Chains A and B, each alone.
Chain A
Amino acid sequence: MDWIAITSAIFLGAMMVFIFPRMREAVKNSPKGNMQDWMGYIIPLVAVIGFIILLINMV
């Protein structure tokens, strides 16, 4: 394993440590979404996935 892989691993580990308390706070304080709210995310996401499939076929 070269130094780039080791540095990347340390960096990603540090990111996890840094993000963890923010994640816990976000989970605790975020309002709960209902089915309609989630559909507001899922519908554009399906469009994004379809668009990426189109891009894959283009390259």
Chain B
Amino acid sequence: MIDIKSLDLSRCDSLRQVEVNFHSINRALPDRPFHDFISAIAPHQLEKCLILSYDNDLDELKKTLLKTPKPKDDSTLKKEKEKPKRDVKVTFGLDIEGDEAEDHRAAIKTALDGAVGNGMFGFLTSTPVLEVYPRVWNPSA
């Protein structure tokens, strides 16, 4: 079985855009999925990162975003401060529709604001944004 952790993207120097679903990075990197995933990609040119979530991922996404950050040691704090912030535009794409879509969106937005407040995305220069994408049938199915 392949997961995102087993793929080494560090040599992809021209990589500018990554699209991955939330479940795959959360399963591979359960502690700090967003930080660890983006850090694993070479920082030279990466501009955009789209993290897709489907309807049955929403609870997990909400939990991850609302996770209380672990208290850090002084050495860890120092290391993080020394590291330059990544200039990557992160977008959370929600694949939801129907009557409950707006409620889901509002709930994830609240969780995302909380995560930004907790410093979960402190390693980024910009705040992540939330988008809703309509369902599109897979033509190959």
Q: Do A and B come from one complex?
A: no
> Which residues in A have some Cβ–Cβ distance to B below 8 Å?
none
